[in-house]
């Protein structure tokens, strides 16, 4: 069975079964190297709430990432 056949069968599953399959598959992949701790998330949220940092729009984020990557 090839990947396309597996995809077709997986897409025919009920939503809950697809969600469980996705979770199980993701657990088999190595870490991305971009993990962020809960503590860092809380600190960044606090920084936004207190005004230490200013939020930017999604469009601005995408533009800055593109610039940083030389695009």
Based on the fold, state whether residues 70 and 40 are members of the same structural domain. Answer: yes
- On whether both 28 and 14 belong to a single domain, the answer is yes
Q: In terms of domains, do 47 and 69 share one? A: yes
Query: Are residues 71 and 41 part of one domain?
Result: yes
Do 22 and 44 sit in the same domain of this protein? Answer: no
Whether 6 and 22 map to the same domain: the answer is: yes
Q: Which domain holds residue 27?
A: 1-33
Distance between CA atoms of residues 36 and 41, nearest Å: 7
**Are 44 and 27 members of one domain?**
no
**Total domains, the chain:** 2
pLDDT tens per residue, the chain (71 residues)? 899 999 999 999 999 999 999 999 999 999 888 889 999 999 999 999 999 999 999 999 999 999 999 87
* Helix-helix angle 15-26:3-11, to 10 degrees: 140
Q: What is the pLDDT of residue 31?
A: 84
Indicate the pTM of the whole model.
0.49
Measured between alpha carbons, how far is 57 from 63 in angstroms, rounded to an integer?
Answer: 10
């Amino acid at each position: 069975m090839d990947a396309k056949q597996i995809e077709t069968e997986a897409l025919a599953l009920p939503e809950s079964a697809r969600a469980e399959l996705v979770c199980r598959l993701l657990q088999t992949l190595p870490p991305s190297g971009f993990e962020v701790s809960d503590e860092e998330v809380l600190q960044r949220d606090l920084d936004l709430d207190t005004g230490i940092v200013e939020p930017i729009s999604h469009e601005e984020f995408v533009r800055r990432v593109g610039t940083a990557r030389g695009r």
